[in-house]
Each structure stands twice: as structure tokens, then as C-alpha cells.
Structure 1
Amino acid sequence: MIRVVVANQKGGVGKTTTAINLATALAAIGWRVLLIDLDPQGNASTGVGVAQSQRERSTYDVLIGSASVAEAAVATRVPRLDLLPATVDLSGAEIELVELEDRARRLDKALLAAPPRWDICLIDCPPSLGLLTVNAMVAARHLLVPLQCEFFALEGLSQLLQTVERIRLAFNPGLSILGVALTMFDRRNNLSQQVSEDVRACLGSAVFETVVPRNVRLSEAPSHGLPALIYDLRCPGSEAYVKLARELMARLPQRAEAA
């Protein structure tokens, strides 16, 4: 199973929107997808229409070892897309994990024990570089970084890259940066263009060509419990995520390969 972590310690950069819509796009072309919600806010779970009443078991149970991935995963209304949901219990997980053995490898071990039911998993992280995000980075082989086209987003990027390097050295030498996805791009704003140019100058080909624009339909979709690709496939935001999914697939190993 290919494992991709969607992470950025800055909040409001489009991590959850990116994870939901890329997962939907991959499922639409026939991939069996597992979306893992590792954020205590549970926005990814809500965004794919999984209500609180459907979250009998969650990523919290998987991390503390009281449930397996297969036991906690639930089907979504999107064919071939399953969800490992989050509940409020996850907010206390970082404190509990400190006392557990191999606290940074809990998710990795759970995924290793999972049945070969899925081709790929996308892990949506909280807006921090705490133990939950560390678990995700240790478990994943590829990192996708959504980056908002604003000045402060650039400041946090260097900190994130330093964290990735520490994870590589201490836990997961196989972790690689799959790409940086520029989000919330406003063509009317010169700053968005400047940030885009600066990021591309710094990171080069690591930055995806596709840029996700600011789009009200992307913001509306979660309130209906639907990915934007289903809520409004023809809106500019959805069209951008379809293009981004194509780029993502070109950079990923084949489904049959171990990743």
C-alpha cells in the first residue's frame, strides 16, 4: 500500500481539502483508497460525510492498540474510498502515546498489519508538528505539502523541511517529498504570484505545476458532507484538484509496487 502524508504545521492552508479531493479523484479512477483522519477536529471525516454516530472506532483506537485498521475503517458514500475517522478522543492521544512503547511508530505498525484491501492511503494531519504528525511521517513514504500562497506560509515551510530531515535521520530514511501543492491562489493578488514564484525558485520541480485557486465551492462542499469533486465537479477548484491528481499519479509508484 502506497502511503502519502499530507502535512503542514500551519493551519488553514488546505490540507484537509487537498486530502479529501485527491482521495476522491484516485477512487474515481479505480484505486482503492484509505483516507486516514489524524486531526482531532475530524474535518476530513465530516468532509466525506461520515457522521459522529458512524465513528464507533477511530484513529485513536488504532494508535493506542484497542482496534486494528480494518476494524476502525468505515465506507464512505464515495465508491472505493474508505475512511479511518477521527473523534475528539484523539485530542488526548499525544499525552497517552508518550507512555507507550514505540510511540512514534504506532501508526506504522498498525498499517503494516492491515490487510491488502487498499492501494493507497492518504493521511490528513493536524496543524502541528506534534506526535500525531510524527506518527504520520514515520508511517508514510511520501510527503505532500499544501502551501497557501501567502507570506507567512513561506516562513513555516523551512521548519517543516527541518522536521522532515529529523524524521529521516531518526525513524524513516525512506520518507521523500512527493511535492508541494500551491493552494488558495488569488490571481487578483500580486502577493499570490510572488509567493508562487519564490517557492518555485527555491524548490524547483518539487512544486506541482497545478495551482489550486481560491474557490467558494471548495469551502461550501464540506458543509454538505461531500468532496468538492462530487459537490461541483465543474468549479475551478475541483478542476484544479483533478489536474493535481494526474500530477500526483505521475509521481507515485505503481499500485503493485511496495511503497
Structure 2
Amino acid sequence: MTMVLAVANQKGGVAKTTTVASLGAALVGLDQRVLVVDLDPQGCLTFSLGHNPDRLDVSIYDVLTSDIHAKEVLLDTAEGVSLLPATIDLAGADAVLLMKPGREFALKRALKPLHDEFDVIILDCPPSLGIMTLNGLTAADAVLVPLQCETLAHRGVGQLLRTVSEVQQITNPNLQLLGALPTLYDSRTTHARDVLADVADRYGMPVLAPAIPRTVRFAEATASGATVMAGRKNKGAEAYRELAESLAGYWWGGEELVTFSE
């Protein structure tokens, strides 16, 4: 069974795109067939996987707003993941979809023919709670919330959780909230550790382990059009590899997710 995972947080700068790309590459390393979908008009995921959004003729926008089949838009990447790319055209998708019936289900319909070809589909939701994010949550089996380990990063999490709850009530009753993924984590600071504890207490959701460390390797990888999974060993790659193993064990092995509450 194909698992569709939405990675969502309406706050920018929380390593959401890095999580999608790196987790996707880590799952490929576990022999999974992985598709990542860029739902952000800025095209950061597309760029980080080695494709220039400004040079693409078609994107997920065309799939959602016209009769173009998703298979016609798929791109290969050096990481072994397949990519449904985004371009700036996606900024106008909300206005187009507003006029369509069942607009929240557009992405789900577009991805359905691809389920036989992939084991995991990971959705990089934009930093907003607009129609694209609603489409991502409606199409997903589960949602993961990357959360920077700083106090101000908490702002908006409650609003996101309310949106998830509304989606569960209206368009996707089977959507599962996997929990928060701590990112940009510096274990040397008491503040970061306090934030971790506060998330679990304040929002009552699991905090997945391991925390993703703050490292310059992520920026270096993005600039080179790759992920931290490529090249030499590093702490960031190891953390995403552990997360991938935890998710694979949970989805297909009947194991418990590894969390900080254990």
C-alpha cells in the first residue's frame, strides 16, 4: 500500500523542504520507490533536487489545473527519488481551483494513478494554510510537522493543528497526525531541550526522534542540488536515515514510532 505523507508547517524556515528531500532520499536507501511533490510556488524542493524551476515547461500546476497527466511531468533526480516539480505558476493555482468543484480533492485525484508506481509519496506543503496545503492534507494518509527548536517557532502550531482537525472532520477522516519533528536542533543548549519538552506538553502530540541537528551540511547540499544523504557521512544524514527506518518500521513492520516520550 502506498503511503502519502504531508510535511506541513505554515511557518517558513523550519527545514520543511530539507525534510522532504532528505527523508525521501533516505527511504530510497531502504529500497522504497519514492515520489516527492513540490507544492510551493517558490520551487525550493525542485531547485534543491537539481532542477531549475524557471526552465521547466510543465509542473504540478498544469496537472492540477488542466488535463495533463502527472506521469508526463515526473522528473528524475540524482538521489533516486522521482519529483513532481513546482514553478512560479503555482502561485495562481488557488484562484483557478477556487472555481472548481471539489477543489480540495484536486491533488488526491492527480496522484491516484501514481499509487501503483510508488511506495511512498511525500508532499512538500507551502508555508501557508491555503488551498495547496488543504489539498496536501486531503490527499495524505499522515502529516508530519517539522518544528524548529526555538520558542517563536511555536507560533502558529495551534492554528495548523486546528486545520488538521477540520480536514479530519470534513475531507479526510483517515488523516493521521504523526507528530512534530524537531529540526535545527542544538543539543548543547538548554533552550532547545526545553522547547522539545514544551511541544509535547502544550500540544499533546508525539515528538519524533531523532531530532534533526543544525548543521551547515544542509545549506551546502541544497546549493549543490543534492541532499545530505549524498557524499560523506554526517549527523544530518544519519538523523534522517534513522527517521526513515522508524517510519518504515511503523508503516510496514507493525512497530511503534520512535519518539522522545519513550
TM over 0.5: yes
Q: Is the 8 A contact 1:68 1:114 kept in 2?
A: no
Deviation at 1:251, TM superposition (A): 2.4
- Equivalence for 2:58: 57
Which runs of structure 2 are paired with 1:89-238 in the superposition (5 Å)? 89-114=89-114, 116-202=116-202, 206-232=206-232, 234-238=233-237
- Tell me the equivalent position of 2:251: 252
Q: Gaps spanning 5+ residues in structure 1: where?
A: 255-259
| Higher strand residue share | 1
Distance 1:53 1:165 in 2: 36
- Report the counterpart of residue 24 of structure 1 in structure 2: 25
Separation in 1, partners of 2:201, 2:93: 39
Asked whether the equivalents of residues 107 and 139 of structure 1 are also in contact (C-alpha less than 8 Å), the reply is: yes
Distance in 2 of aligned mates of 1:59 and 1:251: 29
Q: CA RMSD, aligned part only?
A: 1.6
5 Å-filtered alignment, 1:26-41, equals 26-41=27-42
Q: Deviations over 1:90-134 (max 9, x none)?
A: 011111111112111100111123361111100001100000000
Judge conservation of contact 2:183–2:212 (CA < 8 Å) in 1. Answer: yes
Shift of 1:147: 0.6
CA contact (8 A) 2:26 2:244 kept: yes
Separation of aligned partners in 2, 1:9 and 1:122: 17
Deviations 1:33-82 (A, max 9, x none): 00000001111111111233763321101111331111111111123x10
Amino acid aligned to 1:127: P
- Give the TM-score normalised by structure 1: 0.92
Between the aligned partners of 1:53 and 1:88, the Cα distance in structure 2 is: 8
SS, match of residue 41 in structure 1: coil
Instruction: Name the aligned partner's letter for residue 3 of structure 1.
Output: V
Matched, 1:78 2:79: yes
CA distances 1:162-205 after superposition (whole Å, capped 9, x unpaired): 00000111101010112311001122332211101112334567
CA contact 1:104–1:131 (8 Å) conserved in 2: yes
Equivalent position of 1:257 in the other structure? none
Tell me the secondary structure at the aligned position of residue 212 of structure 2. Answer: strand
**1:15: Cα distance to partner?**
0.4
Taking every aligned residue pair, what percent have the same amino acid on both sides? 39
Structure 2: distance between partners of 1:100 and 1:77: 36
3-state SS of 1:201 partner = helix
Moved more, 139-148 or 152-161: 152-161
- Give the direction of change, closer, same or farther, for the CA distance of 1:122–1:91 in structure 2 (3 Å limit): same
Q: Structure 1's 103 and 193: CA in aligned 2 closer, same or farther, altered over 3 A?
A: same
Match of 2:44 in 1: 43
Q: Secondary structure at the match of 1:158?
A: helix
AA matched with 2:27: L
Output the TM-score relative to the length of structure 2: 0.91
SS of the residue 1:133 aligns to: helix
Unaligned residue ranges in structure 2 (runs of 5+): 254-262
SS of the aligned residue for 1:21 comes to helix
Task: Describe the SS at the equivalent of 2:51.
Answer: coil
Query: SS where residue 9 of structure 1 aligns?
Result: coil
